[in-house]
A = this chain, B = another copy of it.
C-alpha cells in the first residue's frame, strides 16, 4: 500500500510520540481534526495504526503473536512453584523412596546438616539403584544423587519460560527453587513439569493476561 505524504507524516508522528490523540496529531500538522479523519481511518484500517478510547493512536509494530509472547514473558517462577521435599544426605535409599511415596513427589532435594542444597534425587536415580545388587537400606543417598555443580536450579524471579527451557534441555523433571546464602543455596521450592503444565492450562480463560 502506498501512503500519501501526509499519511507518512502521521505515521512518523505516531511512531515517535504515540499514544497521541487525533487532536494532537492535527495540531502538529497545523490541520483540523476533521481534515485528518479520513487519513487516520485509512491508516487504522490498513493496520499501521491502532487506536484506543481515551488513549489515542499508537503505532502497531506488533503482531498478535508478539503480544502473546509479551504476556508469557511476564510469568515468573514465583507464582508457580510447589513446596519442596528434602531429605538429609545421610538418609538411606529405602527411606528416600518411602518419602517419595508418602509425599507423592518425583524428585527429592538433598540437604546437608545446615539445610544447604547438596544434591537432587529423582525417581530414575532410585529405580536405577533398586536394580543393582546393593541393599537399598544400606546405600546413603549421597552416593546415588546428582550433586553440585551438576544440579540445575532456578530462582523466584526467573521467567517461567526460562525455567521451562532448563527442564527440557537438561531432561529433568524438577528444578529446586533456591535462595543464595553465604554458605550455599537454601531450597525454598520445587518447580516441576506439572507446574508448567498447570501454567499452560492457566493461560486459557485468564483475565489478567
Contact = CB atoms under 8 A, between A and B. Distances in A.
Interface string A70-103: 0111000000000000000000001001101100
A168 B130 contact: no
Contacts of A168: 194, 197-198, 201
Q: Count this chain's copies in the assembly.
A: 2
A158 to B, nearest CB: 14
A193 B198 CA distance: 10
A40 B128 CA distance: 68
A206 B65 contact: yes
A209 to B, nearest CB: 4
A92 B131 CA distance: 13
A123 interface: yes
A168 B199 CA distance: 11
A97 B127 contact: yes
Interface string A52-80: 11000100000111011101110000000
A198 B173 CA distance: 13
Given A64-B209, A65-B206, A200-B196, A101 B128 contact: yes
A148 interface: no
Interface in A154-209: 160-161, 164-165, 167-168, 171, 173, 192-194, 196-201, 203-209
Given A68-B71, A68-B204, 16 more contacts: A44-B51, A45-B51, A68-B209, A94-B131, A97-B127, A106-B173, A123-B123, A123-B124, A126-B127, A131-B136, A164-B200, A164-B201, A168-B194, A173-B193, A193-B197, A197-B197
28 contacts: A38-B38, A38-B41, A40-B41, A41-B41, A44-B45, A45-B52, A45-B53, A46-B53, A63-B207, A64-B67, A65-B205, A65-B207, A68-B203, A69-B203, A69-B204, A72-B204, A97-B131, A123-B124, A127-B130, A130-B130, A130-B131, A131-B136, A160-B200, A164-B197, A164-B200, A164-B201, A173-B193, A193-B193
